[in-house]
Amino acid sequence: MNARLEHLSDESVVEATASLLTALRAEPPLVQCITNAVVTGFTANVLLALGAAPAMVDITGEAGLFAGISSGLLVNLGTPTPEQRAASLEAANGARTAGTPWVLDPVAIGVLPVRTALAHELLALGPTVIRGNASEILALAGRSAGGRGVDALDGTEAAADAARELAARTGGAVAVSGPIDLIVDADAEIRIDNGDALLTRVTGGGCALGAVMAAFLGAARQTGHAPAVAAAAATIVYTIAAEDAAQGADGPGSFAVRLLDALAAVAPADLAARARVAVTAPVAA
C-alpha cells in the first residue's frame, strides 16, 4: 500500500489500522525491547496481550545481533545504565544494517546530560519512528531544555514544528503523545483524539506505546504501510483499549490490569466506529 498523502484520509488510516492489527495477530512480530527497568514487565505484558512476542535483549554482544533478526526494535532511554547505553547503540546499528524498523523513545532528555547526548547519537542513526511527549520532542530538536523528568511541560501542538523538523532530518515519522496524539512525516499529519487520562497514572503507560509502535512497524513490513501509518495504527489501538479499560476501573491499579485485557480484546471491526482521526497536509517549514 502506498501511504503517501494523496492516498491518505481519515477513513484510510482507520482501514490501515484494522489491516495492520489483523496482520500482527496472524504473524506475531518479534519485538526487541531495550527499555527502562521500571517498565520492563509491563511492556512485555502489553505486547503479549496485543498479540506480539517481546524479547528484552539489552546487553552488549547480543543486542546488535538480535536487532538483525527482530521484526521491530524499541530503544527507550528511561534508565540508561552504561550497559544499556552501549547496547542501544549496538542494536540501532544492527537494525540499520539489517533494515529492521526501530523506535527511539528519548525519555526525560533535555536537562539530563547523559541521556541527552545518547539520544542525539541515536538520532544520527535514523530511527524509523521517534516517540515522546511534547517536551521530549522539543528537547531532541534543540528547542527547549525538556520537561520535568518524564512529565511534559508543553502541549502537543507546541512541539509540532519540532516534530516536522525531526521527521525531515530522519526521513521517518515522529509521534508526539498527549491528550491529542500527533504523528508527522513528510507527507501527512495525523491527529488522534482517543485515550484516557488514566494512562498517565500508570508507570509505563507511555513507554509501552513505544513498544506497540515497534510491533506495528514489524507488521507494516509485511503489509507495506508507511511508518507514520504504523505509528498511528499503534496509537489508535492502544488508546481505544485505554478507553475500554477505563470503563469500570476503580483507579490506576485496576486500570492497568484491565488495559491488558482490553488490548487482547480489541478487534479490527471495532475501530471504524471508535477511532477519532484527522489527517491533514503537512505544514510547510
Annotated binding site for substrate: 56, 204
Amino acid 55 reads A
Strand pairing class (129-133; 173-177) = parallel
The CB-based long-range contact list for 152-159 (8 Å cut-off, 24+ gap) reads: 152/178, 156/180, 156/181, 156/182, 157/182, 158/134, 159/134, 159/135
Query: Would you give the DSSP letter of residue 243?
Result: H
What number of CA atoms fall less than 13 Å from residue 65's CA on the CB side? 5
- Residue (of 35, 67, 77) closest to 211 by Cα position: 35
Output the CA–CA distances (angstroms, integers) from residue 47 to 61, 93, 234, in the order listed.
Answer: 24, 24, 11
Output the CA–CA distances (angstroms, integers) from residue 52 to 31, 48, 55, in the order listed.
Answer: 7, 5, 10
Amino acid 235 reads T
Binding residues for ATP are 131, 177
Rg of the chain (C-alpha set): 17
Residues 6+ apart with CB under 8 A from 264: 49, 50, 51
- Residue (of 81, 65, 69, 77) closest to 109 by Cα position: 77
Give the C-alpha separation, 129 to 132, whole Å: 10
Tell me phi and psi for residue 34, to 5 degrees.
-105, 100
